[in-house]
Structure 1
């Protein structure tokens, strides 16, 4: 697939040079800071030196005082409290954090994860009935609930109170809960709006600790779980999230909780985790519990108090992840065959595929794979409990949620974000939805949005890549949305020696520019360029700069994202 190289706007030269002089760094690095909204020496100090004291006062969040008062009342009066969370990584880590913390101060507490297939996403009537029937008078809902107006009204009628901790965009009406914690509320002045669901849960226990003179260390011990939620829920690595991710990664790599330590072991990598490692190694395994079996297994792992219990759950989850992979690959192959054999589907600006027998637990993953292949807004549908359920994924710059709003007359319900969403509809509406979604996407998507782009931060001469530059560049981590690992372009580079094909379609080679050192490179899935790259033939590359460790030897390596022959 051809990709469009998109070079970001260069900040004003005066500002670049001023900040470079103040910080005594290469102007390319100061330009990267300015692109990230870091404009002054003091802001750079905050950026490069995250401090736990940078966390905001949790009581700045609307309804936090009411939430803590209701929880304190429940503890004093020995009420039964139910910690309720979604079945994905953000939801299960949220439950693990809040349940584990309050379990130390309240004996009458349990947790509840809805069944993905029987109850669906969010607050369920079945979950409320469970609470009422078992004497729970307070539910703390995590990573869900902000749009559950009818469900909360039902709970109120049964005498079950709710404290909602959510991070999704509210609807026009808020639920009548005791407290609704969500920085995205229009009337909430909390300074940072992009916390994960687990992040909201963390602020809840932070507030409780402050109010009850509990040492902050008893809150900070859960930072590794918060980092996992931040990574897997694809929230921006900016502001407070960046601080939480920074310290969460430190804990994950030094003293992880027993459950995460076990999961890291079964994943085959026990040290030096990055945000990317969490996304690709830990996240799928945690998610697999709810996709294939029961997400409660994930919570049981994450709250485990001894290694034997954790190992049992870790091994089980790893088996479920293997099953998930098998379903994922099989359904992806079927979907690709369905598209490839249909000229109408191939020619569309959207992809919608439906098979009533596909496993609901993996259709989101399949939607992501189809988006990678065809690079256009994609919806994968399957049959579930008499309805048709779907997962949708989008391409850079295109608002999928808005497109689904245009199709809302055909949907029972939908929710999500700009780039990912879930939906349900009546089976009879599938043909009409396929046509309507294509009509909406065709009318609103641009031709540029249908071509995958490689965002490039800056142009760089290879001679600028020296130890100090690389050391400072590493301090831009943790990398993730809105703080991605910088990608550079270097023009007129030359190969030293001959490129080699490794694996199925990857290139290993060494490049240089006149006057520069030689740099080892890896170019994944660029094997078609091997025959064109020759000595004395210049070409352009765009790449990220990484550290490669081989047999305890550390070297700088360029991870090439694109090659352009001249």
Structure 2
């Protein structure tokens, strides 16, 4: 996270309030407070053993497991059709590895290239899939909106099993079976599963069905599906789905396998090229180190490169593929920075401030890379604290946009309302509360800009459009201990809707310097409640700082919003603050 660059500068701080909890004395008081502020109130809610997973009783699971069991027992040809992001890649791998482990003799995968086919099971990708002569198509992380694609497959005599987690529209595809916890009538409690989590549950149900059919034997032993949890954890974190208890269980179990070295060679290789110590891995590392390298393949080239990295059993091959993915990620970062510079030039000319900033920001440049506009939208959203849609050319007549939202505005619902108010304005749209994709005619862009701004204005309040950060309070100098830092690292996994603890406070700035081109390395002294800065000093770092503002030789004290972390360097653990926002204090 960069230092503040928004029109509101240093964000408003909202103090988290902890609800009354019923934890046992085994849970440290600090964690009781932090958990209570996140709506987790008892020991049972922080349990992360596999026995905490809800039973595989999702709508459509029974039909799906019978369909797959029949196909496996009769040696039908299965084809997985995935998506071109990290969740899609891990879903594809979990589906492929799991089905093979359960006895599927013929199973392959196909992921649409985003630049040739776009998202989902389209009629065009069905035509490509048909060349492989599958007996059954299984979608992962897509399909719930693929009405035309499923119909095209049916005309060719190919049934489709849809596994997805995206929100359904008013109509559903006429598939052989649909497994999606968010479809109407599904009572499964864990609505926030990622696509990879849905596929994992399909495999659990399939194993139960095959067990009932006496499929397993000494010659064909029952598969241990827990071996797939490293991939499930990676896809879950990278897709930024809410980490309610079911997802926390899946992520925790996957993290334990990775830390113990019992994970795919591809994950080990990606951690190596990212410079991460697997034994100290936390959920954020999967989101910021592994996920972007896999996503880079789908954004710039072909996600199948990432899938091959995750599927291979050869460590040397995995390392070579991980190096290619790392190169692509470096290229992606360069493209992203160039696009961000373009966007900031446009926005700076508008001289935006709190009085004239749009409710919803739309940006378009015909030279922008279609695969990177989502990241650009996220960066601009962070800066201006507004829902943002960044557009790039799809072809001569159509443009594609990637949207990112702020808390309080459900993007997919907003686009659905916009589409109903302005029939024909959108060609396609879909997504989640915080992220969505859409396409429209270039000729309709300006009309869309006005319509989107009006919808955001209608659905949000002034308070929701004001940059704010929730803080867990201020720490005192004695709290900056390695014991507390390690406690917080082990208390997760932290993530979406179960945020990593953040604190705020003032510090004496002892040293400051730029490292790695854009990162501000600092040495700080905590200031006590009495206003005194003691002799205790702490390292801190703020990533991707505005180098026009920092280092600041005039700053003697700073106000920070930060995370308390630990850093392992040359076999020595020390406290380190990860700074999200920084403000120089003046007399």
Query: TM-score, with normalisation over the residues of structure 2?
Result: 0.86
Q: Is the 8 A contact 2:488 2:565 kept in 1?
A: no
More helix by percentage = 1
Compute the displacement of 1:454 (Å). Answer: 1.6
Please state whether the residue corresponding to 1:421 is helix, strand or coil.
strand
Aligned residue number for residue 540 of structure 2? 522
> Structure 1 360/552 Cα, relative in aligned 2: closer, same or farther at 3 Å?
same
Deviates more, 1:285-294 or 1:139-148: 285-294
**Aligned equivalent of 1:145:** 143
Q: Secondary structure at the match of 2:500?
A: coil
The one of 426, 432, 446 aligned to 1:417: 432
Aligned to 1:552: 571
Counterpart contact for 1:403–1:440, Cα < 8 Å: yes
**Residues 182-222 of structure 1 deviation map (CA, whole Å, 9 limit, x = unaligned):** 11122111121111100111111122223334677621111
RCO higher in structure (CA 8 A, sep ≥6): 2
Question: In the TM superposition, what whole-angstrom CA distance separates every residue of 1:294-338 from its partner, at most 9, and x where no partner exists?
Answer: 122221111112224323422332332233223222222222222
Secondary structure of the structure 1 residue equivalent to 2:321: helix
**Corresponding residue for residue 297 of structure 1:** 305
CA distance in 1, matches of 2:566, 2:312: 34
Match in the other structure for 2:512: 500
- Per-residue deviation, 1:283: 1.2
1:242 corresponds in structure 2 to: 248
Q: Does 1:280 align with 2:288?
A: yes
Match of 1:231 among 224, 228, 237: 237
Indicate yes or no: 2:176 matched with 1:178.
yes
Moved more, 156-165 or 305-314: 305-314
1:486 maps to what in 2? 501
Secondary structure in 1 matching 2:564 = strand
Residue correspondence of structure 1 range 160-199 to structure 2 within 5 A: 160-199=158-197
In structure 1, the residue matched to 2:228 is 222
1:369 aligns with 2:379: yes
Give the match for residue 108 of structure 1. Answer: 106
Give the SS at the match of 1:6. Answer: strand
Q: CA deviation at 1:468?
A: 5.9
Matched residues, number:
548
Q: Do the aligned residues in 2 keep the contact of 1:143 with 1:167 (CA within 8 Å)?
A: yes
Q: Indicate conservation of the 8 Å contact 2:541/2:578, yes or no.
A: yes
SS at match of 1:277: helix
Cα deviation code 1:528-564 (max 9, x no counterpart): 7763435xxxx86543221122322212333344567
2:79 aligned with 1:73: no
Q: CA deviation at 1:26?
A: 5.4
In structure 2, the partner of 1:313 is 321
- How much does 1:469 deviate? 4.9
Equivalent residue in structure 1 for 2:368, among 336, 358, 378 = 358
The structural deviation recorded for 1:66 is 1.0
Give the whole-Å Cα distance in 2 for the aligned partners of 1:292 and 1:561. 28
Would the alpha carbon gap of residues 528 and 402 (structure 1) be closer, same or farther in structure 2, given more than 3 Å must change? Answer: farther
Counterparts of 1:148 and 1:450, CA distance in 2 = 34
C-alpha separation in 1, matches of 2:500 and 2:327 = 32
Shift of 1:226: 0.9
Match of 1:533 in 2: 556
Partner in structure 2 of residue 258 of structure 1: 265
Deviation (angstroms), 1:464: 4.7
1:30 maps to which of 29, 32, 35: 32
Q: CA deviation at 1:119?
A: 1.0
Q: State the alpha-carbon separation in 1 of the partners of residues 576 and 539 from structure 2.
A: 5
**Distance in 2, Cα, partners of 1:10 & 1:336:** 39
Alpha carbons of structure 1 residues 311 and 546: separation in structure 2 relative to 1, 3 Å: closer
RMSD: 2.7
Trace 1:55-94 onto structure 2 (pairs within 5 A). Answer: 55-58=53-56, 60-94=57-91
Residues 93, 311 of structure 2: 8 Å contact kept: yes
Alpha-carbon distance change, 170 to 313 in structure 1, aligned in 2, over 3 angstroms: same
TM-score (norm 1): 0.89
TM-aligned CA deviation for residue 467 of structure 1: 6.4
Change (3 A) 1:69 1:217: closer
Deviation track 1:57-109 (CA, whole Å, cap 9, x = no partner) reads: 21x11111111111111122222110111111101110011112222412222
Q: Tell whether the 8 Å contact from 1:506 to 1:527 is kept in structure 2 after alignment.
A: no
Show CA shifts across 1:415-467 (max 9, x none): 11122111001121111111222222234433333332221124443435556
Q: How far, CA to CA, are the matches of 1:475 and 1:506 in structure 2?
A: 25
When structure 1 is superposed on structure 2, of 111-120 and 270-279 the one drifting more is: 270-279
Q: Which runs of 5+ in 2 are unaligned?
A: 1-8
* 1:521/1:560 contact within 8 Å kept: no
Matching of residue 380 in structure 1 with residue 387 in structure 2: no
The answer to whether the Cα contact below 8 Å between 1:26 and 1:469 also exists between their aligned partners in 2 is: no
Aligned to 2:463: 448
